[in-house]
A and B are shown apart, each in its own frame.
Chain A
């Protein structure tokens, strides 16, 4: 029984596509087959982040129009076995696909892949509706910012209305130093508001930007970084394993800080 997971956020720029690309790779490294679906028609990015842009020949739109077979449109990743990408069309608008068509596409993918991971566009309009149409579970990506959390809250409501019950939270781009100094919302603050189970916290890291620009997902890098470790843990938790959360605050939890906190009460 394959799982269909949509990755969404409401707000743009919080790292949906980056999380999708890396999580897809991480799941595949656990030995599963994964189909990544870019549902961001008109503003596709997932192929870029995966470094597969120049290998896209057909897109989901051509499959739906019957101009090619589904297998022809799927782009295999040469670096990680078991991962394929179904690219979105770049030249069309979000209205060019209907939720029913999306269900059909994803349904066909579940025949062959253990995981179907859908990268949703920002917003809550047609593109979002398409992305969540076929999903059974959802991962909400948010940054510890008030606007992102507010949008995430709205999206959780929409997902629940759609009947998607399994919703997990990923807090992205956390800066432990700033949290320590109480300049940034903490994971607890975010969770308190959203009240959905946490599945992972990804720390902010400049290497993420470098890897995105190069089209080489961070989890594939030889020397593993903290964000990559966090993503790998998310993949294992998705898979049902119990993995303790990384202690991101460790570096900042000095004796002095502890005393300061004590006095602040």
Chain B
């Protein structure tokens, strides 16, 4: 293995046990924006899957972050369909969401919900409402095939301390990941900037996932169930680097070397 000419990171502390819920990303899904033809879907996480923890305040902050981070990707005056799922939204909250969308030149038009109260509030506010009958089966959310990754999430933001971004696919950050910030992806993680916080790729257990950054100074890197800390003394020079899993734990290689030695052999 000649690719490891770059510095090596220390190997796992305590590999998290298997008792950790195997779908760490799915269980804590966040607010999502997805384009569907001419319109944009704003998907709120179902209340049933995020009990208590994801309060309206958390949800609201997430929404604002997402909207500010993706501004370049939609045309002005694109219409939005709010997928409220089983979330209880009153007129005030709907208005808050609509205002946030208006700020970035999006237009809330439709609301899709399984809650009667939300449907009533939305209708009163003049949105076109589609009410889905509440599913009575225990298996509430029709699960997509687990292996299938969501489309990549592209964000133009600085991920600051206290911000946590989770996505059941690959995450691309155009900006820095600051210490105290955390990015958790079921797929790969690209940071086009300085990676100084915690990055967790392959969070659902895929050990083939990688973490790439222009400047790698992480607090901690995790890939699947492997954990690594940065070396005690930071390197004097930085190159774009790639972190990947070997049987010995997480290793880091210079991006230029990595593409020669790894990408031609595997995949």
B17 — which chain A residues lie within 8 A by C-beta? 68-69, 72
Closest chain A residue to B17, Cβ basis: A72
B161–A55 CB distance below 8 A:
no
Is B32 in the interface zone, CB < 8 Å from A?
no
Contact with A along B222-238 (1 / 0, CB 8 A): 10000101100000000
Is A183 in the interface zone, CB < 8 Å from B?
no
B57 — which chain A residues lie within 8 A by C-beta? 93, 95
A92–B14 CB distance below 8 A:
no
Contact flag A57-B55 (CB < 8 Å), given A42-B162, A69-B19, A91-B164? no
Q: What is the minimal beta-carbon distance from B156 to any residue of chain A, in angstroms?
A: 20
Is A204 in the interface zone, CB < 8 Å from B?
no
Is A254 in the interface zone, CB < 8 Å from B?
no
A67 — which chain B residues lie within 8 A by C-beta? 20-21, 24
Is A53 in the interface zone, CB < 8 Å from B?
yes
What number of A-B contacts does a CB cutoff of 8 Å give?
A: 53
Is A54 in the interface zone, CB < 8 Å from B?
yes
Q: What is the minimal beta-carbon distance from B199 to any residue of chain A, in angstroms?
A: 12
A184 — which chain B residues lie within 8 A by C-beta? none
A95–B55 CB distance below 8 A:
yes
Contact with B along A53-87 (1 / 0, CB 8 A): 11111100100010111001000000000000000
B16–A68 CB distance below 8 A:
yes
Is A90 in the interface zone, CB < 8 Å from B?
yes
A93–B58 CB distance below 8 A:
yes
Contact flag A72-B16 (CB < 8 Å), given A55-B229, A56-B220? yes
A65 — which chain B residues lie within 8 A by C-beta? 53
A68–B162 CB distance below 8 A:
no
Is B131 in the interface zone, CB < 8 Å from A?
no
Contact with B along A25-59 (1 / 0, CB 8 A): 00000000000000000110000000001111110
A93 — which chain B residues lie within 8 A by C-beta? 55, 57-58
Q: What is the minimal beta-carbon distance from B195 to any residue of chain A, in angstroms?
A: 13
- The residue that A54 contacts in the complex, of B19, B162, B229, with Cβ under 8 A, is B229
Q: Give the residue among B19, B180, B220, B230 with the most A Cβ atoms within 10 A.
A: B180
Complex formed: what's the CA distance from A244 to B134 in Å? 70
- The residue that B162 contacts in the complex, of A53, A58, A91, with Cβ under 8 A, is A91
Complex formed: what's the CA distance from A92 to B164 in Å? 9
Q: What is the minimal beta-carbon distance from B248 to any residue of chain A, in angstroms?
A: 19
Q: Which of B15-63 contact A (CB under 8 A)?
A: 16-17, 19-21, 24, 52-53, 55, 57-58
Closest chain A residue to B218, Cβ basis: A54
Q: What is the minimal beta-carbon distance from B249 to any residue of chain A, in angstroms?
A: 14
B219 — which chain A residues lie within 8 A by C-beta? 53-54
Q: Give the residue among A57, A58, A65, A95 with the most B Cβ atoms within 10 A.
A: A57
Complex formed: what's the CA distance from A232 to B17 in Å? 38
Complex formed: what's the CA distance from A93 to B61 in Å? 11
Contact flag A91-B14 (CB < 8 Å), given A54-B230, A56-B220, A57-B227? no
Complex formed: what's the CA distance from A69 to B16 in Å? 10
Is A188 in the interface zone, CB < 8 Å from B?
no
Closest chain A residue to B227, Cβ basis: A57
A92–B21 CB distance below 8 A:
no
Q: What is the minimal beta-carbon distance from A203 to any residue of chain B, in angstroms?
A: 30
Q: What is the minimal beta-carbon distance from B252 to any residue of chain A, in angstroms?
A: 15
Contact with A along B129-172 (1 / 0, CB 8 A): 00000000000000000000000000000000111100000000
B265 — which chain A residues lie within 8 A by C-beta? none
A68–B19 CB distance below 8 A:
yes
Is A96 in the interface zone, CB < 8 Å from B?
yes
Contact with B along A86-105 (1 / 0, CB 8 A): 00001111011000000000
Report 6 cross-chain contacts, Cβ distance below 8 Å, ordered by A residue: A56-B220, A57-B220, A57-B222, A90-B182, A91-B163, A96-B53
Residue positions of B touching A, CB distance < 8 A: 13-14, 16-17, 19-21, 24, 52-53, 55, 57-58, 161-164, 179-180, 182, 218-220, 222, 227, 229-230
Given contact pairs A54-B218, A93-B57, a sample of 18 additional A-B residue pairs in the complex whose CB atoms are under 8 Å apart: A53-B179, A53-B219, A54-B219, A55-B220, A55-B229, A57-B16, A57-B222, A65-B53, A67-B21, A68-B19, A68-B20, A72-B14, A72-B16, A90-B162, A90-B180, A91-B163, A95-B57, A96-B53
Closest 7 CB pairs of A and B: A91-B164, A54-B229, A54-B219, A90-B162, A54-B220, A90-B180, A91-B162
